Amino acid sequence: MAGRSKKIVIRTKLGEREIARDSIIYFPHGLIGLDDKRDFVLIQVRENSPFLLLQCVTDAQLGLLVADPYPFLPDYNVKLEAPEKKTLRVESIRQIAVLVTVTIPKDNPEMTTLNLSGPIILNTKARLGLQAPQVDAKYPTHFRLVDAQRAQKPEPE
């Protein structure tokens, strides 16, 4: 008796990809503005690239470019409230991964921005996700990567 296949093929913005069923991340509330889209998977855009594609499993046209913000902003701080932790079934901080959406303007990659005000939080163990808007105005919606790189370079003496 054959069991359910552990892999499925999905269509993405990057072409067809085979993914493991257990790599699907469920978003109980969807993403902001995409409440009806719940199943996503992370796909490496290119080897050695800091960017990933958060691809909707059921909609080939819906893929968000995301990145781990910490290589760019080591001091980035995300606040999670108790209801968010409950939704994500957080038992340990080690289960948490933080991603931010990335915008790369066509023909102007120097103006690439990170959305720091609406991070996507994943429980990597439970395969659950949610978008956790940050009410602290400290983090902008469009933080330019060139500004992050400048902030990390020591000042000349």
The CATH number of residue 43's host domain is: 2.30.290.10
Render pLDDT for 26-63 as a digit per residue (tens, 0 to 9). 999 999 888 899 999 999 888 888 899 999 999 988 99
In a domain, 1, yes or no: no
Beta-strand relationship, 51-56 and 63-67: antiparallel
Structure tokens given for 65: 């470019």
Q: Which pLDDT score, from 0 to 100, does residue 149 have?
A: 61
Report the C-alpha gap between 46 and 5 in whole angstroms: 26
In a domain, 120, yes or no: yes
DSSP structure class, residue 61: T
Render pLDDT for 61-108 as a digit per residue (tens, 0 to 9). 899 999 999 998 898 889 888 899 999 999 888 999 999 999 988 888
Report the C-alpha gap between 26 and 40 in whole angstroms: 7
42-57 exposure pattern, b = at least 16 Cβ within 10 A, e = fewer: bbebeeeeeebbbbbb
The count of structural domains within the chain is: 1
In a domain, 2, yes or no: no
Mean pLDDT check: name the lowest of 3-7, 22-26, 143-147: 3-7
For 61, the domain range is 7-152
